[in-house]
Structures are given as structure tokens and as C-alpha cells.
Structure 1
Amino acid sequence: MRSVLQLIRSMFSNPKKLVVVLGATGAGKSKLALEIATRCNGEIISVDSMQVYKGLDIVTNKVTKEEQEMCPHHMIGFLEPKDQFTIVDFQEQTLKIISEIQGRNKTPILVGGTNYYVQSILWDFLLKIETNSELSNENEKERQKMYDLPNSELYQMLVNVDPKSAEVIHPKNKRKVIRAIEVYNQTGKPQSTLLEEQTQQYGSSLGGVLRFPDACVLWVQCDAGVLEERVHKRVDKMVQRGLLKELKDFHEEFNKERFVKGMSPDYEHGIFQSIGFKEFHNYLTADESVNEAMKDKMLKEATEQMKLATYKYAKYQIKFISRRIVNRSNTIPVYTLDATKPELWEEKVLNPTLKVLTTCNVHDFGNIIPEQTLTVAPLLNSNMLDTEGKILQTCNHCDGIMVAKHNLESHLQSKRHKHNYGKWKKSLSETSNILEERQQQLSSVDSTENEDNLLTNTSTT
């Protein structure tokens, strides 16, 4: 029966179309992608840099086995936890999968939170250098050596070979620093120079021509307050489902040996970059002598830290979509859907989506779309991308922290900056008062000396 239904659906679908579902963590993009796939003979491709790894299903929030049985899913759980997997690896494998899905007369649906990966599929903008799979063992060892270097030393290596890239890559972003150094080592040219050449070729600061100009891009959104609440509830639910055991088992299997050797835990490779490991580090590594009350406190603090980190990432996802997908010179139409109220899902999200898919010639849903369904217009491209905005600025009030220019205003309004600025201002005021008092003392001494000199002169006379 199912095969018959799929055959009927395929008669009304355009397999050459690509559907992309964007959205922040907790917005509802995975739910929408599943609804689309089951209605238009689709197959889902996960666009998540952490879900490609085996295990940690709770931490990485993988779709359930039941959901995966509803339609084929790709790019989920096929790598070992510590394997390196780059955006180039993802791009090559995903483009092949898209072609295979379309070859089966089915609709490929991209969905996930790693928007940089989405960007690499929609636009051909990546620098053409060797991928990880082609690197020799010698180069792999060299990369590992770079990962083991202190951030300051590694960053100086980048400054030496590509000072322009060093202006826009944060010293603590080890992955991007190493990537830029590798580009130089493999091509003999600075990454910044290659990107400038790409910009001149394609007329865009982001570079790259559109691979899928007719792609249908959907952006699931919701109010900030609602999104934050959903993120908090999601973390609480993850804890209830067994997050702690999952983290502890992985920690003991992969990091315990490092502790025995006196090495710090590895949170910069493979799946260990997932939000959760760093936040629960103190709890996971707590000594057995720590009492239960203290452990409960550490657990509560770790949970709160994970909520903060997850919501911070969700806000970053929204900013990335806006800056690098919607507002670029060679963008494609992006349709927004309001998922703020779950009770209005069909009215505000599902039915408008079916209408958009019909309009974009992805699938003809015909008469099943209610007449009163909202018509969603694509977002207008404001093309406000500031290429200079990525240049790093140094805040001398906050221990020399480096902040991207377009984030500077947010940093200046942050509690951290205001606190440090207040301390600096108070210190400046105290210094000013000391100098003023000292000046008065000196003036008093000068005045006394002048009076003494006057008396001496009068006496002599």
C-alpha cells in the first residue's frame, strides 16, 4: 500500500527541485521537514555537523527511530566519535546524495542547524583545496600538532602567513585558524587573497554561484521569548531522557585516559564539540569525595550553562541565516513561517508551506490546501551585509577581548563590558582625585616657598 501511495505522490512531484528548511534550534524545522517528506515523496538529508557521528543521540538531538522509519534519512550516525569531518567532506557527500535522490524521482529535503553547511550546498563558494580524505598521514599528523598548540602560538602562525585573515578570524577559533593555515600550505596563497579573487569572479563578498537557483527555502521562526523557553524545556527533557549517562559513558570511554596521562579533556574534535560536554565538565569530573549537596549544585549549574549555551547558539543561527543566506547579492527567495503558537501549526506553518511548495512547483497539493490559507511572500533582500563588519576590534576594557565589528555594539551593551567599564571609570576617577590632591599639595608647597622667598627678600632689604 505504501509503495502505491509513493507512486501516486511522485506523479505530482518535481524531483529536480530541492527543499531547504531553516530555523533555530527549537523552532520546529525538523517537524516541518518530516511533514513535507511524508506528503511529497521526499527524503531528508540532515544538515548537522554533530549528528553525522555515531552515538550521543540525546546530546545531538537526533530524530527518533520511529521518525526515521517514516521516510528515508541521510547523513546521520555514520562516523566514529573522534573522526574529523569538514565542510568539504559534507559538501561532497551531500551533493552526491541529492543527485541520487533526484535520480529516484524523489524530493531531497535539507534540514538542520549547521547553516554554514547549508550555504555550502546552495552556493559553490568553498575554496578548492584537498579534502581531509585526500590528505596524507603526514599532513594529518601536522594538523594534530597544530591542534595541540596553544591558541596564541597558532594564531601567530596565521598572522605570519595571512595577516588579513587574522583580522577576521578570532584567535580562539582553532578550527578556522588551522583551516586558513592549511589553505596557505596547500595553495601557496593566503586564504584572504583567494577569497578576494573569488569575490572579483562572482561579484559577491561571499562568493560562489547558485547551484540550485530554483530551490524552495523555508525559514521556521518564532518569538524570541518562546524560543528561549523551548530551548530550556528541551534541555530539561534531555536530562530526563538520560543525558547525564550518555555524557558520562562517552567521557569515561574517550577522556578518562587523557586524565590519567595528565592531559586536558578533548572538546575540540569530533562529536565532543557538541554543546553539553564543556558545560557538564565539572560535574562529570567531580571527585568521589564531593558530597551529594555539592553534586546537586554542580548539576544545576551545568544544566543552566547548557541552556544558556544552547540559546546563544540559537540566536547565532538566526543571525547567520539573516546575514549569509537572506541578505546576500545572489540570494534566492526565502519564505518565513511563524511557529510561535503550536496550536496554530496547521494554520500558520503547515498549510502555508504546502501552498508555497505548490507555487514553487515542488509538488502540486491541489485542492487539499484550504481556501483561507495564508499566502507567504518571500523575504526582501536588503543586501545589508557589511564585509568590513567581520574585522575584529579589541576592547581594552575587557582584557583585550576581540570582537567582530558588527557585534561591537552588542558587546558594549553587555553586562561584562559595563562592569569592566565601570571599574575602569572608577579607577580613572580615583586616579584623577589623587592627581588633583597631589597638584594641590604641590601648589601649596610652591605658595609656601614663594612666601618664604618674599620674606627673605624683605628682610635683606
Structure 2
Amino acid sequence: MLRKVPLIVILGSTGTGKTKLSLELAERFGGEIISADSMQVYTNLDIATAKATKEEQARARHHLLDVATPAEPFTVTHFRDAALPIIEQLLAKSKPPIVVGGTNYYIESLLWDILVSTKEEQAATVEQQLSAELMAGMSTAELHQHLAQIDASSANRIHPNNRRKIQRAIEVYQSTGQTLSEKLMEQRQQPGGNRLGGPLRYPHTILLWLRCQQDVLNERLDKRVDGMLQQGLLKELRQFHNSYANVTLQAYTKGVLQTIGYKEFVPYLQKYDAQQDDRLEAYLSEHQYQLPTSEQLLAMESEAEHLAASLKLLSSCCAELKLVTRRYSKKQLKWINNRFLASKDRQVPDLYELDTSIVSAWPEAVFKRAECIIDSYCQAQNCEILPMAKRVHPGADLNEETSHFCAICARHFVGEYQWGLHLKSNKHKRRRESQRRKQREAAEQAARPQSKPVAELPDKTL
């Protein structure tokens, strides 16, 4: 007996091989690929965002690549509204949709009913547009205070520094007349809903999680950055910078202009021009695209000071990109653990782990296992490969919709779990002890008897 055609979702950190597996599964099962990457929806920056190459795109049909320009906004709501009809159409044709990407919130928006949007919101009125302009002129603190007046629950749940979410909550109220809290409550009260939102959309879903040993992944990510230079990253960044850097007054806080792979190079792009890019390209080509070491830069400075300075800045940008990319991969790992494996009352499809650490073992360790999982599911047969066991998050029973402010550290925290972690942290304890020590010293100083000044003796000199 055949089951319904599944929705296949490939999760994983940057650099774990998601594109490779998506192509192999699309060819094996006749599926089509839906990119769930918040940066790959934009045109340009193909190298910086590790977009599937034209040759790879020719192997299987891809959706939601290059569907927006950097000059226009593209939110998770835009993504969801574009992706859901594609999934429905593919399922109707008995073709498995293969969702692949590193933007986990995009993937969540497809799997569960978690976003709040309305028809009124999609057709914004002039008054709403004017309101948006007014909000743009307000500080984040002022916006949070305004939200507290119209929707205290949301203000308590949203971090006071999270301007995007604060504005979003205000916009929902302005466009619908209902608070975001009221809408979330309606969503959560649906059958299958939970504190994270509404129910699961597609019960016939297979989640494949590509994992890689962190030290192996770090080395792989570093090599990928070096490879980007050889693919023409510098030229791509220069063209993009010249076209879009000044497209908005908030250029470095919105959309693709904040993508990993571009913003790290802004210091170089702002200081040097295309002619210097050509000089660096010539140097890199001559040296097999190996950036110079600190010792080599010092030796160069006396003969080619300008070239050495630009190479030094470019090397710094590349080092920053490597660092940020490694951090992002860990953040992706944490998200999947918390939202897919440790949600107490959420309907989560079975999650299967595939180890991509050893490249030579890929056919057996990754592709064959994924093929077996999908085949067994489609044929309604037991699979020898078991899904990952669910785990309990240590904050599962805590209130995650309340805010706390630490006066000692001058920081806000949302949720009892994060608040508890902070109170137990060494940094907080050190600051608390330092404050107590200063208070004791001040009290001791105040308690000491004040010595009386010595009276001046009369001047007897003649």
C-alpha cells in the first residue's frame, strides 16, 4: 500500500551538503527543489550566498531562487505565500517537494501555521504607509513603549531591543484592529496548536538532518571562503556594492544587505575601488588565491605599501567571514535542536540524522540512507533506520513569554529559561559581587569617624 507522497525537508548547518543531497533526491524521486534560504531569494550574490550553480539548477527544477531584487523587501511571509502553492501543486501531481535551506524560520513557516497575516495587511492603506513612516522616525524604546500601551502581552514577550518584532506587532494591530496576542491565541487554540503556534500543515513529512563533526565543518567552511575568492567573489561584491549599497537610508540593516558574505567586506569595499580589486585579483591569481600571511605582508610593505594594506584589509574581511560563518552554523544547530527535537507539545515529524563528516562515505552514509528512509515511507514499510529520539528542553515547563531586566548587568531577558541561565552565569555573579563589594566599602567609609581638622597655630613671627 502506497502512502501519500511526502514532503521532504533537508535541514542542516551551512556547508553540510544540503544542495548535493537535494539534487540527488530530486533525480532519484522525480521531485522539485524549493529553496528556503532568506538570501538566495534575491538576485545577485550567487557566490556569496553559495547559490546552486546554473549547472546544478539544470539537473532539477528549482523554485524561489532569484525572485526578488535587493531593492525590495522579502519577508518570511512573502516566502510562505510563494512556497505553499508550489508545494500544493507538486503534491497534486504526486511529485515530492524537496525543501532545502539554512533559514530554519522559513522552513518552520511551511511546516506549521505560525505566522500572523491578513488580507487587509497585504493591501496596505495610505494611512498604514504613513504610520510606517512615522514609526521609522521613532526610537526602538519609544516603539516598545507604544506597543506596551496597545498590547501589553506582546510588549512583555518581545525583547525591548528587537525593533523588527516590535514594529510587526504594532502593524498587526493597526491593520486588523486585533492585537498580535489575540491572534496568536486564536492560532494556538486550533487542534494541534501549541505555545509556538498553530498545528502541523503536512503530516506526510520527512525531515532529514545533515550533521557534520564541528571541527571538520569548520575546516570545510574555511576552505569554502577561500574557494569563493577564486570563483570571483571580489568582482561580484563590487558590482553589488556599486548597485545597491545606497538603495535605502537603512542600507546596512535591511534584507540582503545584511547577508553573511557581503556585510563582512563592506570595510574593504568602502575604502578601495575596482582598480584596486584588479590589482588584488592579479596578485591572488599569481599566488593560487592564497592570501598572504602576516610575515609576508610585513615583507611587502616596504616595496608595495598600498597593495599590502589592501591585502591586509581583505584578509581581515575573509577572517571575519570565516568566524561569522562558523558562529552561524552553530546557531543553526541550536535552532534545530530546540525547535524540532525538544518542543514539548509540538507536532514534529520524524527527524532522521545523516552524518556528512566523511566525504568519501557519502554514497552509503548519506544518499543510500536517505533513499532507504524515503522508499520505506512511500511503501508504508518499516525502515531499519530509526528517527532521532525526542528530548525534553530544560525550559519546557517555564514561562517563555515574560520579560526580566537585570539592573546589575543592565540587560533585558525574555523567558524564564534565559533569565535563569543569566542569574547562574559567572559574568552576572562577578558583577553582583563587585557591586556588593563597592556597597560594603561605601558603607564602611560612611561609618568611619571623621577626623577633626587640626586648628591653625597663631602666627608669632614678627
Counterpart mapping for 1:20-59 below 5 A:
20-59=9-48
> Which residue in 1 is equivalent to 2:320?
305
Task: Output the CA distance in 1 between the equivalents of 2:14 and 2:401.
Answer: 24
**Conserved 8 A contact 2:71-2:247:** no
**Conserved 8 A contact 1:88-1:131:** no
**Conserved 8 A contact 1:14-1:107:** no
* CA deviation vs aligned residue, 1:304-328 (integer Å, no higher than 9, x gap): 3222322222222222222223333
TM-score of the pair, normalised by structure 2 = 0.79
> Which residue in 1 is equivalent to 2:360?
343
| SS of residue matched to 1:389 | coil
CA distance 1:192–1:311, shift in 2 (3 Å): farther
CA distance 1:148–1:71, shift in 2 (3 Å): farther
Task: Output the CA distance in 2 between the equivalents of 1:80 and 1:387.
Answer: 42
* CA deviation vs aligned residue, 1:131-162 (integer Å, no higher than 9, x gap): 76532455345435534543223333322222
Q: Which deviates more, 241-250 or 292-301?
A: 292-301
**Conserved 8 A contact 1:19-1:108:** yes
The partner residue of 2:444 within 411, 416, 436 is: 436
- Asked if residue 394 in structure 1 is aligned to residue 405 in structure 2, the reply is yes
Task: Output the CA distance in 2 between the equivalents of 1:125 and 1:427.
Answer: 43
Task: State the 1:68 CA deviation.
Answer: 0.3
Q: Which deviates more, 339-348 or 297-306?
A: 297-306
- Asked if residue 153 in structure 1 is aligned to residue 147 in structure 2, the reply is no
> Which residue in 2 is equivalent to 1:223?
213
> Which residue in 2 is equivalent to 1:369?
none
- Asked if residue 236 in structure 1 is aligned to residue 247 in structure 2, the reply is no
TM-score of the pair, normalised by structure 1 = 0.79
> Which residue in 2 is equivalent to 1:208?
198
Matched letter for residue 22 of structure 1:
L
The partner residue of 1:361 within 373, 378, 386 is: 378
**Conserved 8 A contact 1:15-1:107:** no
Matched letter for residue 373 of structure 2:
V
**Conserved 8 A contact 1:397-1:421:** no
Task: State the 1:220 CA deviation.
Answer: 0.8
Q: Which deviates more, 432-441 or 248-257?
A: 432-441
* CA deviation vs aligned residue, 1:31-62 (integer Å, no higher than 9, x gap): 11111111111110001111111111122221
Task: State the 1:433 CA deviation.
Answer: 4.2
Counterpart mapping for 1:165-176 below 5 A:
165-176=154-165
Task: State the 1:66 CA deviation.
Answer: 0.6
| SS of residue matched to 1:210 | coil
Q: CA RMSD in A?
A: 3.5
**Conserved 8 A contact 2:245-2:257:** no
> Which residue in 2 is equivalent to 1:382?
391
| SS of residue matched to 1:285 | helix
CA distance 1:434–1:161, shift in 2 (3 Å): closer
**Conserved 8 A contact 2:9-2:205:** yes
| SS of residue matched to 2:116 | coil
> Which residue in 2 is equivalent to 1:192?
181
CA distance 1:405–1:300, shift in 2 (3 Å): farther
Task: State the 1:342 CA deviation.
Answer: 1.6
Matched letter for residue 35 of structure 1:
E
- The structure in which a higher percent of residues are helix is 1
Structure 2 unaligned blocks of 5 or more: 277-304, 455-462
> Which residue in 2 is equivalent to 1:314?
329
Identity %: 37
- Asked if residue 276 in structure 1 is aligned to residue 261 in structure 2, the reply is yes
Task: Output the CA distance in 1 between the equivalents of 2:212 and 2:143.
Answer: 40
Aligned residue pairs, count: 419
Counterpart mapping for 1:76-155 below 5 A:
76-130=65-119, 133-136=122-125, 138-147=127-136, 149-155=138-144
| SS of residue matched to 2:22 | helix
